[in-house]
Amino acid sequence: MIGATGIGRGARYRRRSRLQDWGHRLVLLVGSLLVLAYALGPVVWLAVSSVQDEREIVSVPPHWIPERPTLQNYRAIFFAGEKEVTYATRRKGDPSTGGYIPSTADSLLPGMWNSLKVALAVVLLNLIVGVPAAYAIAKIRFWGRSASIYFMLATRVIPDIALVVPFFLIIKKLGLIDDILSLVVTYLAVTVPFTVFVLVSYFESLPDELDKAARVDGCSRLQALLQIFLPLALPALVAVVLFAFLASWNEFLLALMFTQTPASQTLPIVVASFASDFTISFSFINAAGIVAVVPPVILALLFERYIISGLTAGAVKG
C-alpha cells in the first residue's frame, strides 16, 4: 500500500520509489524475523534443552546447539512402564544432586488422557448450552434480552481465583474432589460465556431473512436453528470448539486445587509437579513442558484462520 510503484512517472521518482521499496522490504523482513524470534525463541530453546542430557544442560554458558542430543526424557515419558526396583537394582546415593528421571514420569500420559477427556466433555457441554442461547439472544426479540447480555458479561469477568474457595467447598460436599467431573463442571464457568459471545456475534452477522423464511416454511425455532443456522455457523462453531478445548487443556488453577492423585490430575498439574522438584533433571522438566505444548500448538496452527476470527468476535463482544 505504502510502497506502491507508479507507472509512467518520472525516472527520478521511480528510482526513489524503488529505493524506498527496498528499504520498505528490508524493514518488513527484519521486523518479521524479530517477531518470529520473539514468539518462537523461548519455545525453541525449551525444545532444544529437552534433548540435552543433564551434564550438558548445566553448561556455562549454555550449549545453544546440543552436542549429544538424546531422547531419553521422551523415552521415559512414553515408554517408561513401571520398572520394579529391588535392593539389587536400586540407585545408591541421593537423588538430591539431581538429574534423575522421576518415577512419576509415566503419569504424564495418563495426565494427558485426563486432559483430553475433560476438554472433550467441556466442548460438548459448551455446544449444548451455548448454541441455543446464542441463537436466542441474536435472533429473537424478547423481554430481558439485554439483561441476559449483561448477565453473561458479569459472569465472564469473575476472576477464577475468586471461584476457587466456593468451588472447593461445593465440590467437597458433592464428593467430587479428585474426580475429573469436578473439572468439567467448573470449566464451564470459564468457557461458556466466551462461547456464547462468539456465537452471538456470528449469528447476528447472518441475515434475519433466513430466519423469517424458515418460519414461513413452518419451522419451529429449534428447527430453524438446527437446519438453517447451524450449518451456516460452522466457522464460528469450529472457533468455539477450539477455544473451549484449549482453555480446558491449558487450565491450571482449578485443576491444581481439585485434583489430588494421578487418577484425575491433568497434564498441566503433572508437569508443574516436576518443576518444583529440584531432584529432577532440568532437561526432563523441559521435555515434560514440550509434551504439554505440542498438542495445543498444532491445533492452533491447523485452525489459525478460525481462531483469529473467533478471537476477534469474542473479545470485541466480551
Partner 1 sequence: MTGLSRSFPGAAPRAWLSRRFNYEERSAYLLLAPLVIVLGGVAVFPVLYAFYVSLFRLKLTRPGRVPFVGLDNYADLLRDPSFWTAVGRTTYFTLVSVAAILVLGLLIALLLNQAFRGRRLVGALLLVPWAIPSVANGLMWKWIYDSGYGALNGALYQLGLIDKYVIWLGDPAKTLLLVANAFVWKEVPLAAILLLVTMKSIPADLYRAATVDGANLLQRFLHITLPSLRPGVLLVVIYESMVAVRHFDLFYLLTEGGPGDATNVAAWQIYVESFRDLSFGSGSALAYLLAIVTFALSYAAIRALGSRL
Partner 2 sequence: MSKSGFGKMRRRDVLVGMGAAAMGAGARAPSVWAQAAEPLHFVTWSAAVDQVKSHLTAFEQKTGIAVDYSNSPWANYRETLVTKFVAGAPIDVLWVSDSWLPEWADAGWLQPIDQYKDLTRYNGDVTDFCNNSMSYKGRQYGLTYYSDHMAFYYVEDMLKKAGIDTPPQSWDEVTEQALKIKQAGISEYPVMLALARETWLIEFLSAMVFSQGGRFTDEQGMAAMETGCLDALKWVVDAVNVHKIVSPGCVETGELTGLKAFSSGTHAFALEPQYRMRTINDPKQSQVGGRVKQVLMPKGAKGTHATVGWMRFYGMTAQVQKDKARAENAVKLIEWFGGKADGAYAFQKLVFLDIGAGFCTKPLYRDADIIKAYSTYGDAALVEQQAGFARKKDVVTSWFGEWNEINGQVWQEAILKKATPEEALKRSAEAWNKLKKEAS
Q: Which is nearer to partner 1, 85 or 212 (CB)?
A: 212
For partner 2, which stretch binds (CB under 8 A), given 2-10, 102-110, 133-141, 196-204?
Answer: 102-110
Count the Cβ atoms, other than its own, within 10 Å of residue 239: 26
Residue from the set 7, 8, 83, 150 that interacts with partner 1 by CB under 8 A: 150
3-class DSSP state of 100:
strand
For partner 2, which stretch binds (CB under 8 A), given 24-32, 69-77, 92-100, 203-211?
Answer: 92-100
| Beta carbons of 236 and 206 less than 8 angstroms apart | no
Q: Which is nearer to partner 2, 39 or 234 (CB)?
A: 234
Q: Does 45 bind partner 1 (CB under 8 A)?
A: yes
- Local structure of residue 82 (DSSP, 8 states): -
Q: Does 26 bind partner 1 (CB under 8 A)?
A: no
Nearest one of 238, 245, 243, 250 to 160, comparing CA atoms: 250
CA distance 132 to 225: 8
Residue from the set 26, 71, 85, 154 that interacts with partner 1 by CB under 8 A: 154
Residue from the set 20, 32, 59, 103 that interacts with partner 2 by CB under 8 A: 103
For partner 2, which stretch binds (CB under 8 A), given 62-70, 145-153, 235-243, 273-281?
Answer: 273-281
Residues 278-297: x where in contact with partner 2 by CB under 8 A, - otherwise, as a string: xxx-----------------
Residues 41-80: x where in contact with partner 2 by CB under 8 A, - otherwise, as a string: ----------------------------------------
Degrees (nearest 5) of the Cα angle 297, 301, 155? 70
Residues with Cβ within 8 Å of 68's Cβ and at least 6 positions away in sequence, in order, are 52, 53, 56
Q: Does 179 bind partner 1 (CB under 8 A)?
A: no
Interaction with partner 1 in 69-88: which residues (CB under 8 A)? Answer: none
Q: Does 158 bind partner 2 (CB under 8 A)?
A: no
CA distance 122 to 116: 10
Per-residue burial over 101-129, b if 16 or more Cβ lie within 10 Å, else e, is bbebbbbbbbbbebbbbbbebbbebbbee
CA distance 154 to 88: 61
